[in-house]
Amino acid sequence: MIIVLNKLKKLGFVPKLIEWEYELKKTMITVSIIGGSGYAGGELLTLLLNHSKAKVHQVTSNRFAGEPIPFVHPNLRGKTSLSFSHFEDLEKVDFLFISLPNGESMRYIDRLMEKATRIIDLGADFRLKTEKDWLKWYKIPHLKKELLGKFIYGLPELNRDEIKKANYVAGPGCEATVTILTLWPIIKNNLIDKEFIVVDAKMSSSQAGNKPTESSHHPERAGVVRSYMPVHHRHTVEVEQELSLNNTKPKIAISATAIELVRGLLVTIHTKLKEKIEEKAIWKTYRQYYQNEPFIRIVTQKRGLYRYPEPKILQGTNYCDIGFAVDKHCGRLVLIGAIDNLTRGTAGQAIQCMNLMCGFKETLGLEFPGLHPV
């Protein structure tokens, strides 16, 4: 856009163009990423480099400080000339994204708040509202407990108005994101027994991050359908927190299974209907809350391969696909949700929140529809 304005200036279209250019520059923001060498940081950077209103200023990584970014993120060859910066060299910007392991950002948050007036933390440190919940589920003391509850939970479909006014947002966990979005209208309309909600989550390998472990070693990871956390998944507390409606907290039971998929997440949620109901009524419930949501799609086809949500076709997109089926035999409602854990579950959702916080079009930079076949 700036290049076009400069060319038009040379042709004599000066006064109005100067005004347009001023408005364009005024709405541009400078952005930095803290912890940009991981998968989430790389996804953020990929999206931001193609965002028309954001200019990436720095990407930090103490391990790779001084190295060109494509050394770690080869998909960005030719897209950026930036090199990784050391955390100690961080400069002031308009907007900061924190992409650090759980338990890290609370150690640095005071310093980071001096570097930017608006911050989105992709980790778990500020998602919960009480120190008691943090200690129970993360097993370490919280170093900035006075900030718990100060960050808005970054799920636009539930908290859009609060996010628009926020300076600090906590990005939800990827499994929590798809579970909350899939359940919210059903719980909101009081259609199921809130004491019986079982979430079967199929998790891809990128959700474990890019730090090698014994379980991520190829001979151990390839071909697996490994139940690695049948109970006590840490995202349980987020889901229960955000789905607590009308002073009632649901009971959520999550079982997590690792599967041979690099990106993507599928939840199959088993619930008990309060009374007999037709599938058309479930459809209307979802339409009631999601018909104007740009990144929610209700998927319940009667024919074809993709009758229900499928993570494979969501890779690189910010969509959450939701499907359902009523089991009349035993009064069960089965809900199915799918996302790309790195985009909708992490970086894409953070960009969506940034757009809201900055007054940009909510879908800006997130229009990629995915690929097929993949």
User: Annotated catalytic sites, by residue?
Assistant: 174
Can you list the pairs that 327-330 forms with residues at least 24 positions away whose Cβ atoms lie under 8 Å? 328/276
Identify the H or E element spanning 164.
helix 156-165
**Could you say which DSSP state residue 173 is in?**
P
The number of helices, as runs of H, and strands, as runs of E, in the chain is: 11, 13
- 249 closest CA partner among 191, 335, 187, 178: 187
- Dist CA 256 CA 18 (whole Å): 55
Residue 26 one-letter amino acid: K
The span from the CA of 121 to the CA of 153, in Å, is 10
Length of the chain: 374
Assigned token pair, 26 = 């005024």
Residue 109 and residue 156: Cα distance in Å, rounded? Answer: 23
Please name the helix (run of DSSP H) or strand (run of DSSP E) that holds residue 351, with its range, or none.
helix 348-358
SS (H, E, C) 62-99: CCCCCCEHHHCCHHHCCCCCCECECHHHCCCCCEEEEC
Give CA 9 to chain center in angstroms.
41
Which two three-digit tokens encode residue 236? 């349980």
29: Cβ contacts below 8 Å, ≥ 6 apart: 53, 54, 55, 93, 94, 95, 358
Give me the phi and psi of 174, to 5 degrees please. Answer: -65, -45
Residue with tokens 């089965």: 334
Q: How far apart are CA 78 and CA 60, in angstroms?
A: 19
Q: Report d(CA 59, CA 86) in Å as an integer.
A: 8
Token representation of residue 39:
């998968």
